[in-house]
Homo-oligomer: A and B are copies of this chain.
Amino acid sequence: MALQGAVQAASDEPIQPIKPPASINVGMVELGKKLYFDPRLSKSGIMSCNTCHNLSMGGTDNIPTSVGDHWQQGPINAPTVLNSSLNLAQFWDGRAADLKAQAGGPIANPGEMAFTHTLAINVLESIPAYVREFKMVFGKNKIDIDQVTLAIAEFEKTLVTPNSRFDQWLLGNKAALTQQEQEGYALFKDSGCVACHNGEAVGGNSFQKMGIVEPYKGKMSDGRAAVTGKDEDRFNFKVPTLRNVEMTYPYFHDGAANTLTEAVDVMGRLQLGKKFTKDENAKIVAFLKTLTGEQPNFTLPILPPSSDTTPRPTPFK
């Protein structure tokens, strides 16, 4: 009875608990996990997805903008891959429709892994254990980039973070949150944050303007307008998920805010015209920290060694 009441209540909330993925291809996940960690998908041989989306650290690199091949400075903050399967689209401007469409990008991006799809496939085709594993999973005799991106995307689908203290509370364990955290959640709802940060991922499901009431003073990029070509989409970004936000510092698309205190203050002023007191800000931050869920939990993948015919990486060319 009590539980039913709680579940009822949860469904009335603007935030829903994260559900573990309901339909997963296990063989594809295991293959995708290897590829996610494999630096041989980069020109240098030392950069993998996990370099910039470090699963030991909330699925990000925790620096304002990423370090790419040859130490190039990236243009924008690397979002977390945790719960990215819940996004309506990928990238800050949503230019990739889904995780599969996204995963081909960084491999061939000269500022990131700086490789080509053809070279990446050549490397994989030269490694007998990969050839066998792709064949087992996809039942084909040749590896292609579609299989690579599909496998990585399937692995990424497993990177959801259920069972945060907030979700435990939503699901009926009322002792899971302190008084201060509950008051923070009340403020988060009543102030209007939930207009943009809602749903399972507490964000990730709409594009919104950065700087509604006041303009943003940081480094601005075009945002969504780069995709739509529409002037009204300038400075619109995909609303970031607030799941695990304690781990995904620094904040905003330019990584300019180092702390949650600062990010909450900016959001209040720029998006809602609200100046939170120190106490209110601390309550909201305390609530946000309850959104940290169970982190990826798997054995470090062991990668099959290259063979004599594997093209060697060229880090210094």
A binding-site residues for B, Cβ under 8 Å: 37-40, 44-46, 51, 54-58, 61-63, 67, 70-71, 73, 246-247, 249-250, 258-261, 295-303, 305-306, 308, 312-313, 315-316
Contacts and interface: CB of A to CB of B under 8 A. Distances in A.
Contacts of A297: 299-300
Contact of A54 (B39, B62, B71, B308): B39
B301 A299 contact: no
Contacts of A295: 302
Q: Count this chain's copies in the assembly.
A: 2
A175 B174 CA distance: 60
Contacts of A70: 71
A57 B303 contact: yes
9 contacts: A38-B56, A39-B54, A39-B57, A44-B63, A56-B301, A57-B305, A63-B315, A249-B305, A250-B312
A299 B300 CA distance: 6
A295 to B, nearest CB: 5
Nearest to A249: B306
A67 B51 contact: no
Nearest to A54: B39
Given A67-B315, A261-B308, A308-B261, A303 B56 contact: yes
